[in-house]
Amino acid sequence: MKTLREKEKLIFELSVEGKSGIDIEFPVEKKDFQGEYKRGGKIGLPEVSEVEVVRHFTRLSKMNYGVDDGFYPLGSCTMKHNPKMNEKVASMEGFLHSHPMFSYNLVQGSLKAMKVLQNYLCEITGMDQCTLQPAAGAHGELTGMMMIRKYHEKKGNPRKYVLIPDSAHGTNPATSTFAGYQVIEIKSDETGCVDLNALKEAVNEDVAALMLTNPNTLGVFEKNIKEIADILHEKDALLYMDGANMNALMGVVKPGEMGVDVMHLNLHKTFSTPHGGGGPGSGPVCFKKHLAPFQPVPVVEGDEKDGYTMNWNYPDSIGKVHGFYGNFLVTLKALAYIMAMGGKGLKQTTYDAVLNANYVREKLKDYYNLPFKSETLHEVVFNDKYQEEHGVTTLDIAKRLIDYGIHPPTIYFPLIVHGAIMIEPTESESKEEIDYFIETMKKVAEEAKENPQILKEAPHFTPVRRLDETLAARKPVLKWKGEGND
């Protein structure tokens, strides 16, 4: 008997010479190409029947794991349910078949949808204006930082430095560097928040901005946010907020009222549009009036009565950051979500997300170490300190969870926590699902004591076991290479 894995290997190479997936004759006229168009060698495609092709791809699709398969508590990523109604709205004919090169009077509905979404996002964030162009959070960061650079340039000096807390997501320093700044790291204090004294020391007229995630990547709300904003603004340095964690604030607190000048949102996190697999995503940037002249063009303007149009006349704009108007269909899904939830629903979402994370924290705090004891909002960061004495690491715990049908949490991030296990259940999980996760985490903690080897060798039941993750990321083999086809 062959194991399933051996069988899978065996049935990857299916090609048999002479087999065909087509068994009807098409009335197509045969053409004999000559010269440079004539193929010299074999076409190099596998020769398989239709049923083999169907089974092959169906089998491959089952090896995947997504948010529609089960619990996916990837901290900082907000892997919430994507309501199927969003997809319906995004595939309505008028949207689906509209073309970005249509004249504006033919796409009034699409322009209105953009304007309405922008207004909602401004309402949620407490900001004045919004651009939908950026295609991801990191792209939104770059857009925002370029606007900040332009703001300072207009005042005569782009400045040199951007301050970033040591708990930040890696995209923050990368973005600042891309925008031409040098990064100065700001230490966190023992509560996991920005150290105000360190901040005061670092801020001067050469500092363009602070990039701050709130709540930060430990899930802790920066309670001194107003004071942080004041310290910056005194030197005309700006406050950029990484809004990836808006699932902890939405409907309850507005960054615009906390002194934030510009921020991005991740529609593919907070606003339930699909996430992962490389996109498409959407990272709108919301900003205060003083940054409006620098926003990407074109800017959708107008109203129902006089009609909507696109304004290209922004001489100080940073230009375009995406083809046409961004990932339009993705933004529609977020619009559908916001309209379906309503203000009350969004607020409840935040409360439920925070409740779920704190439920997990409370139930697991005796089994996994909490490196920071501060109160947390929508996610909780443990580490492997209790398991270390049995030779078990965070990676082993993560791999073992896969055996129980659970996608591992985010691990080894934030970097300021050794062996971090960052859990974000989101609001869309049922109590039953979260209880299963909690019981599994407890069981894994037991196994770490009783039988560490079973964790070391996990996962046991997946099509592939432990991968060389560096090689898999750096040199992925993403396509089939047949004979005469590379």
Ligand X SMILES: *Cc1c(COP(=O)(O)O)cnc(C)c1O
- Per the structure block, which two tokens stand in for 331? 């933004």
Q: Is 379 in the site for ligand X (CB under 6 A)?
A: no
Minimum CB separation of residue 415 from ligand X in Å reads 12
Stretch that binds ligand X, among 64-72, 98-106, 133-141, 179-187 (CB under 6 A): 133-141
CB of 126 to ligand X, least distance (A): 19
Say whether residue 162 binds ligand X (CB under 6 A): no
CB of 39 to ligand X, least distance (A): 42
Nearest residue (CB) to ligand X, 167 versus 393: 167
Distance, in Å, from the CA atom of 215 to the CA atom of 222, rounded to the nearest integer, reads 6
What is 356-398 written as a DSSP string? HHHHHHHHHTTTSB-S--S--SS-EEEESHHHHTTT--HHHHH
Smallest CA-to-CA distance from 165 within 147, 152, 183, 191 is with 183
Q: What are phi and psi of 200, to 5 degrees?
A: -55, -40
- Contact pick of 244, 357, 423, 458 for ligand X (by CB under 6 A): 244
Tokens of 384: 């492997």
Q: How far apart are alpha carbons 221 and 248 in whole angstroms?
A: 9
Task: Please give the Cα distance from 466 to 396 (Å, whole number).
Answer: 10
Any contact of residue 330 with ligand X (CB under 6 A)?
Answer: no
> What stretch of H or E contains 419?
none
Q: Figure out which of the listed residues 255, 283, 298, 419 binds ligand X, where binding follows CB under 6 A.
A: 283
Residues 26-45 that bind ligand X (CB under 6 A): none
Residue 165 sits in the site that holds ligand X (CB under 6 A):
no
Distance in Å, CB of 138 to ligand X, minimum = 3
User: Contact region for ligand X (CB under 6 A) — 55-63, 134-142, 149-157, 201-209?
Assistant: 134-142
Choose one: 60-68, 130-138, 156-164, 218-226; the region binding ligand X (CB under 6 A). Answer: 130-138
Assess 298 for contact with ligand X (CB under 6 A): no
Query: Rounded to a whole number, what is the distance in angstroms from the first to the last CA of the chain?
Result: 34
- Nearest distance from C-beta of residue 414 to ligand X, angstroms: 9
Per-residue contact flags (x/-) with ligand X for residues 382 to 421, judged by CB under 6 A: ----------------------------------------
Give the separation between CA 297 and CA 318, rounded to whole angstroms. 8
Cα–Cα distance for residue pair 410/424, rounded to 1 Å? 9
Q: What minimum distance in Å lies between the beta carbon of 163 and ligand X?
A: 16
The owner of tokens 């920066």 is: 222
Position 363: which residue type?
K
Q: Residue ranges of the alpha helices (H) in 225-274?
A: 225-233
Residues at the contact surface with ligand X, assessed by CB under 6 A: 76-77, 136-138, 169, 171, 213, 217, 242, 244, 266, 281, 283
